[in-house]
A and B are shown apart, each in its own frame.
Chain A
Amino acid sequence: MSGPRLGVVVNPVAGIGGVVGLKGSDGARVQAQAHQRGAVHRSIDRTRRALSVLAAQAPTCHVVTVAGPMGEQAVPAGLSATVLGGTARRATTADDTRRACARLLDHGIDLLLFAGGDGTARDVLDVVGERCPVLGVPAGVKMHSAVFGTSPVTAGRTAAAYLVSGARLAPAEILDLDEAGVRAGVVRPRLYGALNVPVLPGVQGRKVGSSAAETADAAAIAAAVLDEMTDVEIAVLGPGTTVGAVAQRLGVTGTLTGVDAVDLGTGQLLVADAGEQELLAAVRRRRCRVLLSPLGGSGFLLGRGDQQVSAMLLREIGTDAVTVLATRSKLAALGGAPLWVDTGDAEVDSALSGMHRVLTGPGEYMIQPVLPADEAFAPQRA
C-alpha cells in the first residue's frame, strides 16, 4: 500500500432536510420528519460520484474509511479501501462523525474527504483542526463554509489532484447557521474556526472566491487599512480571516473567531478574544476604530458571532468608527445583496445603516448597503 491515503467520512443524513423544505438536517426529530416527507439519503450517492472521479484520476489512491453508510457504502468498485469499525445505522449523530474522524486520523491519512454540510464541517473541525488537510463533498443543506468543492465531481477531481501532485494549503472559514432560527425566518450564521484546504481551482467557498487570491487580497487590504489609520490609537479587530490579516500584518496573534484589541502605538495586543467589558475598558477615552468583515455568504456584519462588539461599545466609540473590510470576490458573491447588522439596539442598528464604503484594497472601495437584520429576515418575507 504505497499510494496516497484518502480518509472518507460520510454523514448519511446530511442534506436530508433540504429537499423537503426543512432548511437543514440537524437533530433526530427533523430527520424523522424528513423521512416522513419522503426524503432520500443523497450524500452517499454524491460521495460515490466524487470517488468515481477520483478513482479514474488517482487510481493508486487508497481509501481509509469506516463501515456502512458512513463511508464503505460510498466507495466504488475499483478503489482499494481499508475499512475501520463503524456503524450500520443510517441515523448517525455528530458524535459518530467525530469518532470516525478520530479513527481515520489515528490510522494515518493524507487528506480527509467528508460529505455533508456546514454542521458536518463543524464536527470535522472539532476533531481534525489543523492535523490534516480537509475537503468537503457538498451534500448538506447549508454550505456557507469555504471548505467544499464546488460540486461532488470537482471535489473528487480536486482530491485527486491534491493527492497526486500536492498543493499549498490555506485556512478556510467554517461557518454554520442556527437551523431553528432559519426555520423561524432568522438567519444567525457564526464563524466556528478554520480547516486547512488545498489551494486548487475546484475548491472554494461555495459562495466565495478562490482561497489563493483571497489570501493575497486580504493581505493588501490589511496594508491599506493600516495606512489609513494614522491617527487611531486602538484597533478593535473583529472575527474572520480578512480582519485576521490585519493582526498578522501587525505581528500579533489574533483570535480567528473572537474579537481582539490592539494598541497601534505600541503594537501590543491589549486583549485577545475579549468580552464586551474588556473591550469597553480597552477603548475608553482612546481614539478607536473597529474593523469588521462580513461573514461570507450571508453578509452578516454585526450580531452573529461577534456580539462582543455590542451596542454599548459602539455607542462609546461612535458608529462612524466602524470600518468594513472585504475582498472583492466576497462582495461580488453577495450578488448585490446588502450587509446586515443586528446589535439588538434599534437605534445603533439604524445609525449603522445606509450606504457604506467597504475597503477592498489599497485605495479601492465598494459602496455596499447596510441594513438592520430584522428588516430583512422577517418571517413573512422569507
Chain B
Amino acid sequence: MITFPQRDGHARDFHQARWNEQLIFDLGSPGERGVVPPASEPAAAAAGEPVRRSLRNRRNAAPRLPQISQPQVLRHYLRLSQETLGADLNIDIGQGTCTMKYSPKVNDTFVRSPEVSAVHPLQPVDTLQGLLELIHRLERMIAEISGLHSVTLQPGAGSAAIYANVSMVRKYHAVRGESHRDEVITTGFSHPSNAATAKTAGYKIITLQGGPDGYPTVEALRAAVSNRTAALMITNPEDIGVFNPHIAEFVRIVHEAGGLCVYDQANANGILGITRAAEVGFDICHFNLHKTFSTPHACGGPAAGACAVTEELAPYLPSPVIVRADDGRFDLDHDRPLSIGKVRPFYGVTANLVRAYAWISSLGAEGLRQVAETAVLNNNYLLKKITEIDGVTAPYAEGHHRIEQVRYSLADLHEETGVSSGDFGVRLGDFGLHYWTSHHPYSVPEPATIEPTESYSRAELDEYVAAMRTVAEEARTDPEKVLSAPHRGPIHRSGQDAMDDPETWAVTYRAYRHKYLGEQPPEVPRWIPPAGLPAKQRPPRAAHR
C-alpha cells in the first residue's frame, strides 16, 4: 500500500514583477522600425504604380501604429507577461465556471506542423484531405460524447456556439410555421450566455430562479412554458455545481409544449463519460473546446465551440458540412437549403480543433471518464477544506456533494470584518493566486466560485486553501491589510467605479486619444449607398439600458 504524506499547504511568499510599463504607443520614436525592407527595384515600383493608383480605398496617411524596434517590442511584451497570472503560472482554480485545465504543450507541436500551419482555407479540398479527416473524426467523437447525431465545429467560441444553437431553434420553428414562438426559458444559474444569445436573436427571456436546492422547481417551469416557448436553454450541473435531478422531466415538459431543449455543456467536465445530452432527450447541445477539451483559453480567444444536434435537426447545422463519399474521400456539402448558413468563415478555428482531437485521442473513453471523476473528487475535497474556513459557507443543497464546482459565500466573513469577496480576491493575488466572485447580480451573497478541474495536484489545492485561510485570518486581525491590497502585485488597487462606468472606458488607443488627450478623431468616410438600392426593413429599435 502506498501512503501519502499528510502535508498542510502554505501560502507562498510571493512577489510579482511591477514594471510600470508604458503603453506601446508611448514607446519608440518616429521612424524606428523592427524590419527595414529593401527598396523596390525602380522597374518593379513603376510596374506596381498603376495598380496602387487603381486602389479605391487607399488611405491618405499612414496608420498611427507604434514605431519601435524588435528588442524593445520583445521586452515590452515579456514585461507585460510578467504582470499576469495565467493558467500556466498560477493555481488557476479560482476562475470558476471557466474550467481552467492544463493544455498539454505537445499538442501545440501538431498545430505548428506544416500540415496544419502551412495550409490555406481556399485550397481545393482534394489537397486538404488529412485536415478534413481530422475534423470529421473529431465531429464523430463529439457525437459519441454527446450521444447526438451530427456535429459542427465551425463556431469560433462558446457563446458563438450557443448563438448557432439559438439560430437553429429559430430556423426550425420558422420552417414549421411556428415563428410566433418568441420566448426562451433559462435558469438563474445557467451560464448567462444562454440568456444573452437568445436575447440577441430576438427572443424574450424567461428566467427560472433556483429554489432552496439551487435548481428551479418543476412548478416554475410549468408556469413558464406555453405555445410561445421556443426553447429551454439550460446548464446542468448549473454554475453553482448542483445537478438538477429533474432534468428529464424538464425536457419532457418543454417538448410537450412544442419547444426544443438546448443543453449548455460548455463545461462538461463533471459528467464526461458518465451521462450524455441524448440520455434525457436534449435536441441540441454545445461544448467549449477550451473548457471541456483542454484547448487554451488564450485570454478570450480564439476559442472553438462544437454544436451537436439530433438527426431531425441535422439539416439546420451551419454550412458547409464535411461529408465522406463512398470512395472514402472527404468533401464539403454546401447544398443545404434548411441550414442557418455560415457562423464563421471556412472550417472554424482549425488549430484548436487539432488540439482537441489530440487531447481526446490521448485519453480515450476511459481517460475522459477519469477526467470527470478526478475533477469531481478534487472539487469535493476542496468543498470540505474551504467550508472549514471560518466565515465561508456553501449555500444551497447543504450537506450534499457538488459536481465540478462550488459557489461559496463569504457573507459571514464580510459581516464580521467588512472584507468583501472582491477585497478577498484582490488580497489573494498577493499570494500569486487568481480568484473570481461570480456573474452579476449576485444571487449568492459575497460569492466565490472555485472549480479545480482535474489538472491540479493535491499539494496545489492545499496551497490554495492555505492562502484562503491566511486571508480569512488577516480579515479578522488586520482588515486594513486586506482592504488596501494588492501589496505585492504589479499595480495598486484599481477603482471599481472606473470599471463600471462606460464614461471612463477607452478600449482602443484612438478612443484613449479622443477621451483622455482631447484629440478629435479623424472623420471616417461614410459609405453612400448607390441610387436605387432598396432600403432594408429593420425591426423597431429595442429599448437599451
Q: Is the CB of B209 within 8 A of A366?
A: yes
| A355 interface neighbour in B203, B219, B417, B441, Cβ under 8 Å | B219
A145 within 8 A of B: no
CA distance A379 to B246 in the complex (A): 33
5 A-B pairs with CB atoms under 8 Å apart are: A200-B497, A216-B545, A329-B440, A332-B188, A332-B443
| A56 interface neighbour in B395, B418, B441, B480, Cβ under 8 Å | B480
Residues in B whose Cβ lies below 8 Å from that of A209 = 441-442
Interface residues in B474-533 by Cβ distance below 8 A to A read 479-480, 483, 496-497, 500
A99 within 8 A of B: no
Contact string against B for A residues 210-254, beta-carbon threshold 8 Å, 1 for contact and 0 otherwise: 001100110110011001000000000000000000000000000
Residues in A whose Cβ lies below 8 Å from that of B62 = none
| A368 interface neighbour in B205, B209, B443, Cβ under 8 Å | B209
Residues in A whose Cβ lies below 8 Å from that of B193 = none
Q: Is the CB of A336 within 8 A of B441?
A: no
Q: Is the CB of B414 within 8 A of A150?
A: yes
With A151-B414, A153-B418, A216-B545 given, name 17 new contacts (CB 8 A). A150-B415, A151-B415, A151-B416, A152-B418, A153-B419, A157-B418, A157-B483, A213-B500, A329-B442, A335-B395, A336-B210, A336-B211, A355-B220, A356-B223, A363-B199, A365-B205, A366-B188
CA distance A355 to B210 in the complex (A): 14
Which residue in chain B gives the minimum CB-CB distance to A364? B205
B542 within 8 A of A: yes
Residues in A whose Cβ lies below 8 Å from that of B420 = 150, 154, 201-202
CA distance A56 to B484 in the complex (A): 11
Q: Is the CB of A367 within 8 A of B442?
A: no
Q: Is the CB of A153 within 8 A of B543?
A: no
Q: Is the CB of A362 within 8 A of B209?
A: no
CA distance A216 to B545 in the complex (A): 7
B224 within 8 A of A: yes
CA distance A367 to B186 in the complex (A): 10
Q: Is the CB of B207 within 8 A of A336?
A: no
B204 within 8 A of A: yes
CB distance from A188 to the nearest CB of B (A): 25
Q: Is the CB of A336 within 8 A of B480?
A: no
Q: Is the CB of A364 within 8 A of B207?
A: yes
Known: A154-B420, A224-B543, A355-B219. A365 touches B210 (CB 8 A): no
Q: Is the CB of A367 within 8 A of B497?
A: no
CB distance from B409 to the nearest CB of A (A): 11
A357 within 8 A of B: yes
Q: Is the CB of B208 within 8 A of A367?
A: yes
CA distance A126 to B496 in the complex (A): 33
A354 within 8 A of B: yes
CA distance A53 to B210 in the complex (A): 37
CA distance A209 to B440 in the complex (A): 10
Which residue in chain B gives the minimum CB-CB distance to A155? B418
A48 within 8 A of B: no
A344 within 8 A of B: no
| A329 interface neighbour in B208, B223, B441, Cβ under 8 Å | B441
Known: A212-B500, A364-B205. A227 touches B441 (CB 8 A): no
Residues in B whose Cβ lies below 8 Å from that of A154 = 418, 420
Residues of B within 8 A of A (CB): 188, 195, 199, 203-212, 216, 219-220, 222-224, 395, 414-420, 422, 440-443, 445, 479-480, 483, 496-497, 500, 542-545
Which 5 A-B residue pairings sit nearest by Cβ, starting from the closest?
Answer: A153-B418, A355-B223, A329-B441, A151-B418, A223-B543
A interface, how many residues as a size bin? 35 or more
A328 within 8 A of B: yes
Which residue in chain A gives the minimum CB-CB distance to B222? A355
Residues in A whose Cβ lies below 8 Å from that of B416 = 151
Q: Is the CB of A362 within 8 A of B543?
A: yes
CB distance from A172 to the nearest CB of B (A): 17
Which residue in chain B gives the minimum CB-CB distance to A156? B418
CA distance A362 to B220 in the complex (A): 21
A331 within 8 A of B: yes
A59 within 8 A of B: no
Residues in A whose Cβ lies below 8 Å from that of B497 = 167, 200-201
Q: Is the CB of A227 within 8 A of B543?
A: yes
Known: A201-B496, A332-B441, A365-B205. A153 touches B545 (CB 8 A): no
CA distance A109 to B263 in the complex (A): 57
Q: Is the CB of B441 within 8 A of A328?
A: yes
| A336 interface neighbour in B203, B212, B500, Cβ under 8 Å | B212
CA distance A152 to B480 in the complex (A): 13
Residues in B whose Cβ lies below 8 Å from that of A220 = 543-545
CB distance from B340 to the nearest CB of A (A): 22
Residues in B whose Cβ lies below 8 Å from that of A369 = 219-220
CA distance A331 to B220 in the complex (A): 15
CB distance from B378 to the nearest CB of A (A): 28
Q: Is the CB of A363 within 8 A of B441?
A: no
CA distance A154 to B222 in the complex (A): 42
| A213 interface neighbour in B395, B441, B544, Cβ under 8 Å | B441
Interface residues in A356-382 by Cβ distance below 8 A to B read 356-357, 360-369
Known: A151-B415, A201-B496, A212-B500. A217 touches B206 (CB 8 A): no
Q: Is the CB of A365 within 8 A of B204?
A: yes
CA distance A362 to B395 in the complex (A): 30
Which residue in chain A gives the minimum CB-CB distance to B207? A366
Q: Is the CB of B205 within 8 A of A217?
A: no
CA distance A368 to B195 in the complex (A): 17
Residues in A whose Cβ lies below 8 Å from that of B422 = 201
Q: Is the CB of B223 within 8 A of A362?
A: no
CB distance from B263 to the nearest CB of A (A): 20
Residues in B whose Cβ lies below 8 Å from that of A217 = 545
Residues in B whose Cβ lies below 8 Å from that of A328 = 441
Residues in B whose Cβ lies below 8 Å from that of A224 = 543
Q: Is the CB of B418 within 8 A of A364?
A: no
Which residue in chain A gives the minimum CB-CB distance to B446? A150
Name which of B205, B207, B212, B500 has the most chain A CB atoms within 10 A of its CB. B207
Which residue in chain A gives the minimum CB-CB distance to B208? A367
Residues in B whose Cβ lies below 8 Å from that of A223 = 543
Interface residues in A15-57 by Cβ distance below 8 A to B read 53, 56
Q: Is the CB of A363 within 8 A of B483?
A: no
CA distance A355 to B414 in the complex (A): 34
Which residue in chain A gives the minimum CB-CB distance to B442? A332
Interface residues in A302-359 by Cβ distance below 8 A to B read 327-329, 331-333, 335-336, 354-357
CA distance A336 to B219 in the complex (A): 13
Which residue in chain A gives the minimum CB-CB distance to B483? A157
CA distance A364 to B545 in the complex (A): 13
Residues in A whose Cβ lies below 8 Å from that of B212 = 336
